[in-house]
Amino acid sequence: MTKIAISFTINGVRRKLEVEPNELLMNCIRDQLHLTGTKYVCGIGECGACTVLLNQEPILSCLTLAVDADHGEVVTIEGISAGKELDKVQQAFVDEGAVQCGYCIPGLIMMTESLLKENPTPTENEVRDYLRGNLCRCTGYMNVLKAITKAAAGGKGSA
């Protein structure tokens, strides 16, 4: 197959890559750019672990072709913190014990980032509805809900 040159901004850095026409964005992120926070879990869009933001919208990178990111802006879990300081959503997940094995957490955090941008003060039902495509086998979701409530409150308090 003939490779295609694409160019996009990822976590604030402009990148140029050569990709196969059928190459998945997740594979470019992990294999070519070595940003391994985006997790490959199911590979069929059922778990949400591979969620990244493309042009400020959450997408499943295991179902998105890399060419679809051409001229776009991608943000991964590595791109939401300021240096070594966690952002408020990441910190809330740590504070509330929502981080367990680590596979689903990047996707949950990226979805939460998107949710709080759209709706800074979501109800529990709105959170549950927004995250319905993200599966977690470890947490039972209660600590995730507490973390999101904490992040929505500006990082203060617990649900």
How large is the average pLDDT for residues 40-51?
Answer: 92
Check: CB of residue 117 under 8 Å from CB of residue 56: yes
pLDDT interval class at 159 (50, 70, 90): very low
CATH architecture of the domain with residue range 4-79: Roll (3.10)
Asked if 4-79 and 88-152 have one fold, the answer is no
Asked whether the predicted pLDDT for residue 53 surpasses 60, the reply is yes
**What is the model's pLDDT at position 155?**
65
Mean pLDDT of the chain: 92
Q: Which helix (H) or strand (E) holds 5?
A: strand 4-10
Nearest to 50, CA basis, from 76, 71, 74, 70: 76
Asked whether the predicted pLDDT for residue 4 surpasses 80, the reply is yes
Domain extent listing, the chain? 4-79, 88-152
Nearest to 155, CA basis, from 108, 83, 81, 94: 94
From CA 149, how far away is CA 27, in angstroms rounded? Answer: 32
How large is the average pLDDT for residues 146-155?
Answer: 89
Percent of the chain with pLDDT over 90: 79
Q: pTM of the entire structure? A: 0.92
The class that CATH gives domain 88-152 is mainly alpha
Tokens for 25? 């964005």
**What is the model's pLDDT at position 158?**
47
Q: Tens digit of pLDDT for each residue in 61-106?
A: 999 999 999 999 999 999 998 888 999 999 999 999 998 888 899 9
pLDDT interval class at 156 (50, 70, 90): low
In sign, the C-alpha dihedral spanning 87, 114, 158, 155 is positive
Q: 123-133 as b/e, with b when 16 or more CB fall inside 10 Å?
A: eeeebeebbee
